[in-house]
Structure 1
Amino acid sequence: MPLTRLTVLSGPSGVGKSTVVAELRRAHPEVWLSVSVTTRKPRPGEIHGVEYFFADDAEFDRLIAGGDLLEWAEFAGNRYGTPRVAVEERLAKGEPTLLEIDLQGARQVRSSMPEALLVFLAPPTWEELERRLRGRGTEPPDVIARRLEAGRVEMAAEKEFDLTLVNTSVQEVCRRLIDLMADDPTS
């Protein structure tokens, strides 16, 4: 699969980004997924360097100051960022490269890498998004409320993306993403 650009997947918390990415990586292990750095504490079962690189605030500040992050954002009281060098190395090798990031991060990538393909993952309905967030059972009500509030802002920014995929079928979203990643924007 020839790579011609970075692909960014974004959407509101709870829309199923992680589920889509896990299925995409299972079916297409050749796609490289950037592992973000976060100041968030690990959830049960998460492994440092697999789901995220977990960092304290001082380490995150050092990464920002050194220009080591392609993008970074604060969300629900925690910071998340994409290590720059790893992405640039994969793109230089022509590897299919995917970022799973939030709206703030997608905007920063758009600014620094305008050739990137920004894909918005939308829920079938707002009610379904709310059900998924509450059904996780991993966060207290105040964090869920903040995520829902942020979700409304993110949903309003959908038009900033190159295209939208509605997450009614994880397999269909994965198929579309792979097709998009294989497309050559110069053809």
Structure 2
Amino acid sequence: MLARLEAGTAVILEIELQGARQVRITMPEALLVFLAPPSWDELVRRLVGRATEAPEVIERRLATAKVELAAESEFDATVVNASVEEATEALVGLMGLSPSPR
């Protein structure tokens, strides 16, 4: 990752809250983007609708999500994940890149 950054290549890290906090400390110039659900209800609907996890796992994930949502202000920007396409477009825009032709 560091070699790519030194070469001027944009790097995207998919990390949890603690990882983002570490990046903020070690690389204060990094742009931290918070990926948020459209709403709490939608987050619950998505997790339950997958039907791939036990109820206690969903409860644990929702508890973690509450902590993460409360930390949104620690990030430089927020992208609402209404759809993969819209979230990708917003992220590309934040990075100052041109979207690829469709």
Normalising by structure 2, report the TM-score: 0.86
- Say yes or no: does 1:90 pair with 2:41: no
- Say yes or no: does 1:99 pair with 2:6: no
Question: How many angstroms apart in 2 are the aligned matches of 1:134 and 1:102?
Answer: 21
SS of residue matched to 1:98: coil
1:75-126 Cα shifts (integer Å, max 9, x gaps): xxxxxxxxxxxx1121122222100111111111111111110111111110
SS of residue matched to 2:13: strand
Unaligned runs of 5+ in 2: 98-102
1:39-66 Cα shifts (integer Å, max 9, x gaps): xxxxxxxxxxxxxxxxxxxxxxxxxxxx
Unaligned runs of 5+ in 1: 1-86
Question: How many angstroms apart in 1 are the aligned matches of 2:84 and 2:14?
Answer: 15
- Name the aligned partner's letter for residue 35 of structure 2: L
Greater relative CO, 1 or 2 (CA 8 Å, sep 6+): 1
Which protein has the bigger strand share? 1
Name the structure 1 match of 2:34.
120
Alignment of 1:131-142 (within 5 A): 131-142=45-56
- Identical-pair percentage: 61
Q: How many residues align?
A: 97
Name the structure 2 match of 1:129.
43
Question: How many angstroms apart in 2 are the aligned matches of 1:169 and 1:147?
Answer: 20
Name the structure 2 match of 1:111.
25
TM-superposed CA distance for 1:138, in Å, is 2.4
TM-superposed CA distance for 1:136, in Å, is 2.2
Which protein has the bigger helix share? 2
| Structure 1 stretches of at least 4 aligned residues deviating more than 6 Å after TM superposition | none
Question: How many angstroms apart in 2 are the aligned matches of 1:180 and 1:149?
Answer: 29
Name the structure 1 match of 2:92.
178
